[in-house]
Structures are given as structure tokens and as C-alpha cells.
A and B are shown apart, each in its own frame.
Chain A
């Protein structure tokens, strides 16, 4: 082999070696692009249902908590949790507290009833309303804060609170649960709540606000939609 040819082969080999050494950079870049595009595709094609929780505290620290959970993920993970009363996605209900109330019968009765207002309590302390409407069970609790809660005895305190601008602060709780979710929740058995079945039923529900709590210091919202971010 001539020296010129040997030199040529040597150079080619060196260039090839350099190219091989540098090639992973390009490959890595390509992989990253692929991942991005596949991620974007997943976002656009999957119609996942997301459960969002947002807690905003208006006290001095101004704490905000935001949690976003895909329902499908919760559905898969819950059966793997085996702790205390939670096993295989079902939670045992404390029987001692249920002796006087047959929850299943109660749920059956609500299911078979027509839409309407079942419980209405209006007092100086609270207003409570439980109703069934459009396939949802609605619970609304309004706590009147300091208005009548403390009565005559706490008049001075109420006046004090009023002076600092807290007299009209009401605590309000609103819960809106699809009846199908309640059915699924009680589908397990007498002393159990089937959380996985409830989540599954929830995933079939439309965008809805499930829980809303407003009090003096905190605002809590739990809602369901198809977005993977909170608004």
C-alpha cells in the first residue's frame, strides 16, 4: 500500500471516529425534539379528566396551594394504597357511627326520589340546604359568622369584631356531587365506600365545581375539567 493511500485511509478513519464521537449530540437533540413533539401530541389527542384543588389563604402569609391530579392516575394509584382503612381502593366506614343510619337505604331513597329540596334549615347560626337537582346532589351551608352565633353574651366581642371589619364575614360551603358518583361510592358493600368506582364515575361527569368553601381566612375550590393547569 502506497504511503499516500495509507495517509488517505488514516484521515478517513480519523474523520469517521470524530463523527462518531460527535454524533450523540445530534442524536440527543433529536430525541429531545421527538419527546417534545410526542408530548404535544399526547396533550392534543388525550381527553384526560383532571381534578383540581386550590386553596387560597388570605391571612398574613398569603399561602396558596394548587394541586392538579389526572383522574386516571388517581384511579390507578388508589388500589395500590393499603393503609389503615383504605384497601384496594375501598375505604371501611366506621360502623359504630352508622348504627342509627342506613346510608345505603338513604342513598337509594335519594336516587329514586324526584328532584327537590330535601333539607332546609334556617337558623340564626346557619342556613343549610340539601337538594337534588339535574342529577346532582347539592349541599349548601351558610354560616352567619358573628351575627347570631355569639348571641347577647358575646355582644361586646361581636362589636369588637365589627370594629375591625369582620362582622359580616360569612362562611359558606357548597358541595355539588353527581348522583352517579354517589351511587358508585356506595356500590361496594355495607361498610365500604368504593373510591375507585367513584373516581371512575367522576371521570364521566362534565366540567363541574365539586366543592367551594369560603371563609374569613381561606377559599377552597375543588373542580373537575379537561385542562392540566389551574386557571
Chain B
């Protein structure tokens, strides 16, 4: 019995630590629904902490290539995201017509992009901290950085 209890305690503790680490940056959520025959329906939830970890697993030369491609917008994105974090929730862009509604806003420390269209619905929710991490990684891996 005592052995079982110790094992449960160890397992529980490990799960808690792993869970706390995995979800400490929140969750990335992607929902895509295409309203056509054979259209795709993607509903994807992933712990945000996975992204920076995945970046560290990408071979350096590939990472440098991606950074080079993003050379122009990476510093802008980094500054933009870093500054976005300082503001309360707000609606950045809202475009609406008879068939389409596009909304970009910040909500609870996340960037939320919603596209509601007669052909498809796309909802994207990404923690700003993750975007900050990604843009920092891109900047850091620029050749000569």
C-alpha cells in the first residue's frame, strides 16, 4: 500500500509539473471549417509552450533560412507583439461586409483572429507570449545576429 501511495504521489507530482510547464503559456487554438463538399474541418488545440520547444529542435541551418526569409518583418513583428502585450484587450481591425467578417483583436493576452465567411470559418487564438517567442527566435537566428 505504501509503495502504491509513493508511486501515486510521484506520478501525480510529475504530472502536475509537466502539466504546469506545458500549459503555463496557455493554449494555441486553430479552428477551420470549410463549407463545401469535401471541405476540411480542422480543430486543433496545442499547448503554447510546445512552439518554442519545437523551434529549438529545428536544425540551425533551416532556422537561419527561415529567419533570412523573415528578415524584413521579424523585427517589426517582435516590436508589435511586445507592445501589444502592454495594452488592455482591444479590437485592432474589424472588416465587415455582406458576406464576410474579419476581426483581429487581443483578448486576455492572446491574439485572436476570426474570419467568418459564407465559404469558411477560421478562428485562430495564439498567446502573445508565443508570438513574442517566435519573433525573438527568428531575430536571434538571423545570420550575423
> What residues make up the interface of A, taking CB atoms closer than 8 Å to B?
6-7, 9-14, 16-18, 20-21, 23-24, 27-28, 32, 35-36, 39-40, 42-43, 46, 48, 57, 60-70, 72-73, 76-77, 80-83, 228-230
In this assembly, does B75 line the interface, its C-beta being within 8 Å of a C-beta of chain A?
A: yes
Residues from chain B with Cβ under 8 Å of A6 in the complex: 1-2
> What residues make up the interface of B, taking CB atoms closer than 8 Å to A?
1-2, 4-6, 8-9, 11-13, 15-16, 19-20, 23, 72, 75-76, 78-80, 83-84, 86-99, 108-109
Contact A77 B83 (CB under 8 A): yes
Bound complex: CA A61 to CA B97 (Å): 6
Contact A39 B97 (CB under 8 A): no
Q: Which single residue of chain A is at the shortest CB-CB distance from B12?
A: A17
Contact B87 A73 (CB under 8 A): yes
A-B residue pair count with CB separations less than 8 angstroms: 116
Q: Sort A-B residue pairs by CB-CB distance and give the 3 closest, nearest first.
A: A13-B5, A17-B12, A10-B1
Contact A16 B9 (CB under 8 A): yes
Residues from chain A with Cβ under 8 Å of B90 in the complex: 68, 70, 228-229
Q: Which single residue of chain A is at the shortest CB-CB distance from B19?
A: A24
The secondary-structure label for the interface of chain A is helix
Shortest beta-carbon distance from B90 to chain A in Å: 4
- Residue of A42, A57, A76 near B79 (CB, 8 A) is A76
Bound complex: CA A228 to CA B88 (Å): 9
With known contacts A77-B79, A228-B90, A23–B5 Cβ distance under 8 A: no
Contact B96 A64 (CB under 8 A): yes
Bound complex: CA A7 to CA B76 (Å): 61
Residues from chain A with Cβ under 8 Å of B94 in the complex: 64-67
- Residue of A23, A48, A63, A69 near B95 (CB, 8 A) is A63
Contact B80 A13 (CB under 8 A): no
Contact A42 B108 (CB under 8 A): no
Bound complex: CA A81 to CA B80 (Å): 10
Residues from chain B with Cβ under 8 Å of A228 in the complex: 87-88, 90-91
Contact B97 A10 (CB under 8 A): no
Q: Which of A11, A21, A62 has the most CB of B within 10 A?
A: A21
Bound complex: CA A7 to CA B4 (Å): 11
Residues from chain A with Cβ under 8 Å of B98 in the complex: 60-62
Residues from chain B with Cβ under 8 Å of A21 in the complex: 12, 15-16
Residues from chain A with Cβ under 8 Å of B76 in the complex: 77, 80-81
Q: Which single residue of chain B is at the shortest CB-CB distance from A41?
A: B88
Shortest beta-carbon distance from A5 to chain B in Å: 10
Q: List 16 A-B contacts (CB under 8 A).
A: A10-B4, A13-B6, A23-B16, A42-B88, A62-B97, A64-B94, A66-B95, A67-B94, A68-B90, A70-B83, A72-B86, A73-B83, A80-B78, A81-B76, A228-B90, A230-B91
Shortest beta-carbon distance from B111 to chain A in Å: 13
Contact A63 B88 (CB under 8 A): no
Residues from chain A with Cβ under 8 Å of B87 in the complex: 42, 46, 48, 70, 73, 228
With known contacts A39-B88, A68-B92, A83–B72 Cβ distance under 8 A: yes
Shortest beta-carbon distance from B118 to chain A in Å: 13
Shortest beta-carbon distance from B13 to chain A in Å: 6
Residues from chain A with Cβ under 8 Å of B23 in the complex: 24, 28
